[in-house]
Structure 1
Amino acid sequence: MNFKPLFAILFLVTICSCKQEPQQLTRIEGKLIAITDSIETDASIEAFVKPYRDHINKDMDSVICFARNTYSKSDGELNTAIGNLFADVIFEQTNPVFKQRTGKDIDMVLVNHGGIRSIISKGDITARTAFEIMPFENSVVVAAIKGSQVNQLIAYLVEAKRAHPIAKLKIVLDINNDLFEASINNKPIDTSKIYYVATNDYLYNGGDGMNFFKPSDSLYILNYKIRNTFLDYFGKMDTINPVIDDRFIKLKK
């Protein structure tokens, strides 16, 4: 008896039946493999990496300037010394770049409280300090937005009552925590005017619920990382001594 045709038929029936059954993923399994000191170091790899690591650490630990005190983002309620430094550094370092490219000045700066990732300790400031403050790759962008959007920005800050770093913008709350007055460069907000607001690319794209940057009249990408603004700023300073000031305050009874 010739079984070859029978096997061929059974094979085709099996394939057809398989094709008719939809395939569906039912489970994904994984296993945690802990990396601990118990794993032996490969001496050849360590010898290869060591000179590069030593060179990087030497650069990272080189002293750039000096901090008069220790500064933390938890030091104030509505504005902090480190937050004010954060915003002021962005303005000081990027406004000349923006001015040269556009002939215009940045009107104000807004970045986020959560973007400050470390304290600045009293004493020597090194390149590593800048990486600790800003470990992310966020860059500065300038959004051209209407005065009405600036009012939305201010409403966001009033509602949040958090020390988001700002520069050139002043906000005053009354004793009931409602907006009393707001100004940019000591002038009331003009809803018919276009304002140039420096921020980071994360916030421009709606990070932290900041949805007031879009639509923007124009967006200027400066290709200047926030970390690099700090490195450049620290490099030209001898000592830093930022303070809590009146840029965002609440009136007292």
Structure 2
Amino acid sequence: MIRLLRPAAAGFVALLLATACQRGPLQATAHLPATSTSQPVGRDITPNADAAAIIQPYHDKVLAQMQEVLGVAPVALSKNPGENLVVNFVADLQRTAAAQALHEPIALSVMTNGGMRSPIPAGPITLGNVFELMPFENELVVVDAPGPVVQQLFNYAAPVRMAVSGATYSVDADKHPQNILIGGQPFNPAKTYSIAMSDYLAGGGDNMLFLRGVPERSTGLLLRSAIADHIRALTKAGQPVTARIEGRVK
């Protein structure tokens, strides 16, 4: 079964509430077609004071949570075609988080450009920024992919020069992957490789149909939580939020 991207139920609503709060008081508005006089319906609706009073404590709590500063980025972690900072950052932390959760090394990690909804801005990074980056309830999983499936992964990555955490490769004139190294060793099509990724990608999302049916293991972690916890851990260790372009794709 293909997993669809799932909005983060309560969390996503929380983000919307926080955004609404930043824009101003909640307003009741009816989004209906204009009347024959071309006057929008609902312009003069007065917010219900009782409803606003009930919502306000939750509204304030959500706003405070979204404004929590998790860490600081000296420069923005940009999102652009090919190898980029924000995808390298998230793919690397996926490998780390999955390895810690499953108590074993993880060979590879994948995150697509489409999976990241925004860059990470320079300066203080809030929980709200993490929700903007990953507004979906995707779980971090590990798939155990046989060599032929791993080859298909690099075939998928090469035309768009997508970086894969834990690996380097080059792209030939026909946009085929060449010289694949995993953990510094030549790719062995007879081996099975563990790959950390979202459950959405593991289910064939973003046209990764070759992953359907590949055994996967749960880490018990929401990807968004793993990102936030990693940033908190960097801050606790006195480290900024950074990433590098390392020539993972040549």
Which of these residues, 228, 233, 236, is aligned with residue 230 of structure 2?
A: 233
Residue identity (%):
27
Change (3 A) 1:131 1:183: same
Q: RMSD of the alignment, in Å?
A: 2.1
CA contact (8 A) 1:113 1:162 kept: no
2:210 aligns to what SS in structure 1?
coil
1:114 corresponds in structure 2 to: 114
Query: How many residues get paired?
Result: 210
**CA offsets 1:35-75 (integer angstroms, 9 cap, x no match):** 8664321111111111111112112102111011122212x
| Equivalent position amino acid for 1:221 in 2 | S
Distance 2:56 2:68 in 1: 18
- The CA deviation at 1:171 is 1.6
Which of these residues, 69, 85, 88, is aligned with residue 84 of structure 1?
A: 88
- The CA deviation at 1:98 is 1.5
Runs of 4+ displaced beyond 2 Å: 32-40, 174-180
| Equivalent position amino acid for 2:248 in 1 | R
1:40 corresponds in structure 2 to: 46
1:172 corresponds in structure 2 to: 170
1:64 corresponds in structure 2 to: 70
| Equivalent position amino acid for 1:234 in 2 | I
CA contact (8 A) 2:98 2:141 kept: no
Distance 2:51 2:157 in 1: 50
1:247 corresponds in structure 2 to: 248
| Equivalent position amino acid for 2:108 in 1 | M
TM-score for both structures, normalised by structure 1 = 0.77
Question: What 5-or-longer segments of structure 1 have no aligned partner?
Answer: 1-31
Distance 2:168 2:174 in 1: 18
2:217 aligns to what SS in structure 1?
strand
Distance 2:74 2:55 in 1: 36
Question: What 5-or-longer segments of structure 2 have no aligned partner?
Answer: 1-30, 34-40
1:57 aligns to what SS in structure 2?
helix
1:237 aligns to what SS in structure 2?
helix
Distance 1:112 1:177 in 2: 18
- The CA deviation at 1:182 is 0.7
CA contact (8 A) 2:85 2:244 kept: yes
**CA offsets 1:89-127 (integer angstroms, 9 cap, x no match):** 11122211112xxxx321100122101111211110111
Distance 1:57 1:69 in 2: 25
